[in-house]
Structure 1
Amino acid sequence: MEQPLDLSSRTLESSGSSNIHESTNVSRVRKLLFHRMLVGINDGRFFYGAFHCLDKQGNIILQDAVEYRSIRSSSPSPMEQRSLGLILIPSSCRKSCHIDNEAIEEQLSQLSLEK
């Protein structure tokens, strides 16, 4: 079963040990660039697109994004889709994050950002 990725935001200090953690976290996020990502938000919609950016607040930008949403409230319900292009998903709205074409162990090792 696929598990959600931890893309928590974190404030990094400018001390020597924090710089090491910061560069490690940056390199982990860089490995995700241009991978296809599925992001679920609180209202039940999903966005699927190429990972483009993650800022310090935890907001995600997806390129060539497609929105998927349920047409009816009954389950299982058909999904409607529409192309959006470049979108920003605020961290406050994000419920889940999944990366395509990678093993769960690799996802967790790349995204287990320390809190």
Structure 2
Amino acid sequence: MGASYVVEGAEISCTMGEITGKLKVVPPHGVKLKSGNRASIADCKPLVNIPSFGICKTTQMPCIPACAMWVNGKSSVLIENFPALLSNSIAICPAGAGVIKIEDDGQ
């Protein structure tokens, strides 16, 4: 099965975190898919879109994600001029050298 669109409430994780979290789409883009607001690769702001993942395995301190923009978005589907976020998209957290990925697309 191919990659699916990601919506608000999608479960995300970091390879260096101890818990999963929920993606937030703030403010809502107005582009809905089923029951949620569709996310874009720009939905990557620490502690706004991306939650803390508990204790960082790299720093041994509380996680404060510092991720760059998501990669592997759908460039043919734009949400406020940014590619739509897909279930196979990832983001890198340079603070703890973790890879943030989508565990469940939220649909």
TM range, normalised to the smaller chain?
0.3 to 0.5
More strand by share: 1
TM-score by length of 2: 0.33
Structure showing greater radius of gyration is: 1
More helix by share: 1
